[in-house]
Structure formats: C-alpha cells, structure tokens
C-alpha cells in the first residue's frame, strides 16, 4: 500500500509540465493555421531537401551497403540535426517554447498539406 501511494504521488511529478499528444497537436495546428500558402510551399521544399541531403550524407558516411540499419540510424541522426537547425530559424520556434515534438507535428502538417494537394490534383486530372 505504501508503494502504491508513493507511485501515485510520483506520477504527477513526472508528467508535470509536459504536453500531452493532443496538446502538442492542438498547438501545432494553431501555429500551422498562421502560415501562408507561400510559406508552406517554401518550407516543404526546404524540408524535402533536408531529408534528401540526409539520405545522401548517410550513404556516403556508411559505405557498407549491407548494413542498412546503421545507414538508417545515421540518416535519422542527420535528419534530426538538420531539422532542429531549421526549426530554430523559424519565427514560431519560440512560440512553441522550443519543443521539438511540436515542431515535428508542424513539419508533419506541412508534409500532409502537400500530400492532400497532390491527391486533389491527381483526382481532378482523372
């Protein structure tokens, strides 16, 4: 019983100050709604180039083609570093209190915006 009480007291301390998944998503949506279409397009282009750069850099760094797991790990680390550098240059970075998770949600919304536009154009062309 004593352990249960201690555990119940400890859980709020661990989660204090952390955003939930829904809070991160709401904050990302609020920030995304402020973007112009031009900003989204430019950001999309930059994000895709950063991801492409990470793939090429990881391939050059991990020359063993058979070790694809090491290459993917290297690629993820390069992506994370490059994305973080890009996030820090954005006006909204301070608004989200430098939260990388929220920034990733914003990035995902930018990518999803492009996917939706592509799908709309594809369906209209049929």
Collapsed DSSP state (helix, strand, coil) of residue 94: coil
| Residue ranges of domains in the chain | 20-125
- What one-character DSSP code corresponds to residue 91? G
In whole angstroms, how far apart are CA 79 and each of 36, 44, 64, 114?
25, 14, 20, 19
Model confidence pLDDT, tens digit, residues 28-40: 999 999 999 999 9
pLDDT at 69: 92
Model confidence pLDDT, tens digit, residues 71-118: 999 999 999 999 999 999 999 999 999 999 999 999 999 999 999 998
Model confidence pLDDT, tens digit, residues 7-23: 566 555 455 568 999 99
pLDDT at 5: 62
pLDDT at 2: 62
In whole angstroms, how far apart are CA 63 and each of 51, 77, 80?
19, 16, 21
Tokens of 7: 């555990």
């Amino acid at each position: 019983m004593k352990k249960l009480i201690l555990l119940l007291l400890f859980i709020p301390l661990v989660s204090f100050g952390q955003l939930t998944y829904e809070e991160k998503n709401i904050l990302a949506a609020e920030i995304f709604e402020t973007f112009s279409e031009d900003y989204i397009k430019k950001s999309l282009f930059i994000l895709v180039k950063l991801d492409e750069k990470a793939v090429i850099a990881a391939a050059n760094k991990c020359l063993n083609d058979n070790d694809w797991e090491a290459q993917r790990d290297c690629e993820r680390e390069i992506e994370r570093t490059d994305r973080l550098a890009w996030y820090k240059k954005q006006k909204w970075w301070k608004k989200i209190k430098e939260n990388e998770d929220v920034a990733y949600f914003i990035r995902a919304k930018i990518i999803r915006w492009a996917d939706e536009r592509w799908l709309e154009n594809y369906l209209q062309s049929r």
